């Protein structure tokens, strides 16, 4: 039977003890997709959103979100991130923005949650800055695409690409 690592012997929540693990280089890539009206995508692309530079603000917000993950998710370990990179692909055919967040560190635990948080916060920021012109913006496909480091090594989600 599988042992649950986030519960103590009394059945209460605990943060997993990673003190005996070896430091390794850790990397994770996550994505989020923001679906919108074609007119909204054009306004973002041309700088026509009244709140300002949507992608510039979303990029900084995504980095901040990755850095603040341990403060938002109770059982996440606070990590010293060595790199956070947010990228955007504007897909005019599907009228969407695909966000990728890559996070790196050297440590005892992975950065999957930080990558997912970074992509999610960037998506939420796009929504917030654009909702006045498109109230039905939809955030979808939040997912871990790839991770490396630690016991499980390098793993890539089947059927997904970073492009």
Determine, yes or no, domain membership for 9: no
Q: What is the DSSP string of the chain?
A: -PPPTTB-TTS-B-----TTSPPEEEEEEEEEEEE--HHHHHHHHHT--TT--HHHHHHHHHHHHHHTHHHHSTTPPP---SEEEEEEEEETTTTEEEEEEEEEEEESS--HHHHHHHHHHHHHHHHHHHTTT-TT-EEEEEEEEEEESSTT--EE-TT----
**Per-residue pLDDT reduced to its tens digit, 23-44:** 999 999 999 999 999 999 999 9
Determine, yes or no, domain membership for 161: no
Q: What is the pTM of this model?
A: 0.93
- Percent residues over pLDDT 90 in the chain: 82
Q: Quick one: pLDDT band at residue 3, thresholds 50, 70, 90?
A: low
Tokens of 43: 């306004």
Query: Could you list the residue range(s) of the whole structural domain that residue 107 is in?
Result: 24-156
Q: At what angle do helices 112-130 and 54-67 cross, to 10 degrees?
A: 150
Determine, yes or no, domain membership for 7: no
Give the C-alpha separation, 56 to 13, whole Å: 38
pLDDT at 2: 56
Determine, yes or no, domain membership for 5: no
Number of domains in the chain: 1
Determine, yes or no, domain membership for 137: yes
**Per-residue pLDDT reduced to its tens digit, 92-117:** 999 999 999 999 999 999 999 999 99
Determine, yes or no, domain membership for 80: yes
- The CATH number for 88's domain is 3.30.70.640
Determine, yes or no, domain membership for 163: no
Determine, yes or no, domain membership for 56: yes
Residue 134 has pLDDT above 90, yes or no: yes
- Report the catalytic residues: 128
């Amino acid at each position: 039977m599988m042992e649950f690592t986030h519960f103590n012997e009394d059945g209460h929540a605990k943060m997993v003890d990673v003190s005996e693990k070896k430091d390794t280089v850790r990397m994770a890539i996550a994505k989020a997709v923001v679906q919108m009206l074609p007119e909204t995508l054009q306004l973002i692309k041309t700088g026509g959103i009244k709140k300002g530079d949507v992608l510039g603000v979303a990029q900084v917000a995504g980095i901040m979100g990755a850095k603040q993950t341990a403060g938002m998710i109770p059982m996440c370990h606070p990590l010293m991130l060595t790199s956070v990179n947010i990228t955007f692909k504007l897909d005019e055919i599907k009228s969407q923005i695909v966000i990728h967040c890559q996070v790196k560190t050297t440590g005892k635990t992975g950065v999957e949650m930080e990558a997912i948080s970074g992509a999610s916060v960037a998506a939420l920021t796009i929504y917030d800055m654009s909702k006045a012109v498109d109230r039905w913006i939809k955030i979808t496909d939040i997912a871990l695409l790839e991770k490396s480091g630690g016991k499980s090594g390098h793993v890539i989600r089947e059927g997904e690409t970073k492009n």
